[in-house]
Amino acid sequence: MNRATSCSRWLFGQAPEPDSARPFLLIVPPLGRGPEAATAWLGRIPDIDVAIVQLPGHGQRLFEDPIDDIDETSGQLAAMLANKIPDNWAVVGHCTGVYLAVEMAHRLDAVKRAPVRVFLSSSRVPLDPVGPDPERSEFAAMLTAMSDEEALAHITRERLLGSGDIDPVGSGDIDPDIAAAVVRGYRAAIRVGAAYRWTHPPLRAAVEVWRGRADDVVERRHADDWQEFAGGDFDVVEFAGRREFFGQSADAAIARVCRAFGMPAADGGVPAGR
């Protein structure tokens, strides 16, 4: 498979083939979701190319086997992008997508292609290998014990999937093959996220952590925990609400990215969020 074809499978959006002459933003959605989680970002920043990672088992790759190892997947993505991304690029990871984002940042830094900034949205730090987080361990065990029908109802109820993958209101008119693929991808994402550990030195790129002020899963103390992973500039930015700042209400988050690239905020707005 040639490099261009590889990019088109893994990257969704306005820049499936990065242009080395333009600033580039890579978005990594939650491991259990496809590109639909971040499509609100597309077309919003005219002077920056934006691409969303499309993992196997999600989006247009729904029926492929989902990833089972962040280390292997980050290696594939980093190798694919190393000779394509410009010097002026950044990565945004959201929820469990943060773990893949930081792994890619580390790998690309190792080949002198480090991002100018790493944005980490709505995620706790990787689990301590000695003392696992009881809350997340209990959730993983609960999901494992669910039947496929119960898991699908849970996913729908939590609105974890966009209309491109599944009926978000749970009307029951869901193709059984699609439903099975969705559940399989979500279960795999939970397993991969729970198993991930950070084993590298702190990131040298500037790190900005995002959270919603009303988020009761990722509290301010959880956001502050990320500082131990940052070897350079570190900041925590808080937005209104829970997590909607990343999806359809993404204006303030997009403005933060514009600020990092030294550009006016999208739609003429003022960089916001604190």
- 3-state class (DSSP) for residue 100: helix
pLDDT of residue 274: 52
pLDDT at 131: 47
Distance between alpha carbon 192 and the CA centroid of its chain, in Å? Answer: 14
Neighbours of 131 (CB within 10 A): 7
Residue-level pLDDT at 190: 86
Query: DSSP letter string over 64-99?
Result: SPPP--HHHHHHHHHHHHTTTS-SSEEEEEETTHHH
In a domain, 243, yes or no: yes
The whole domain housing 92 covers 3-131+193-257
Is residue 265 included in any domain, yes or no? no
Q: Collect all residues with Cβ–Cβ distance below 8 Å to 260 and sequence separation of at least 6.
A: 90, 116, 117, 119, 206, 208
DSSP state of 55: -
Number of domains in the chain: 1
Q: Which CATH number fits the domain that encloses residue 13?
A: 3.40.50.1820
Closest CA to 160 of 135, 132, 189, 194: 189
Per-residue pLDDT of the chain (274 residues; tens, 9 = 90+): 333 445 778 999 866 677 778 899 999 999 999 999 999 999 888 889 999 999 999 999 999 999 999 999 999 999 999 999 999 999 999 999 999 999 999 999 999 999 999 999 999 998 654 444 555 556 667 777 787 788 777 777 665 433 333 344 344 567 889 888 988 998 899 889 888 989 999 999 999 999 999 998 899 999 999 999 999 999 999 999 999 999 878 999 999 999 999 988 765 443 444 5
How is residue 156 annotated by DSSP?
H
In a domain, 262, yes or no: no
Residue 166 in any domain: the answer is: no
Residue 146 included in any domain: no
246 located within any domain: yes
Q: Is residue 136 part of a domain?
A: no
pLDDT of the residue at 111: 95
Question: CA–CA separation, 187 vs 258, rounded Å?
Answer: 34
pTM of the predicted model as reported, rounded to 2 decimal places:
0.86
Is position 89 within any domain?
Answer: yes
- The CA distance from 8 to 49, in Å, is 14
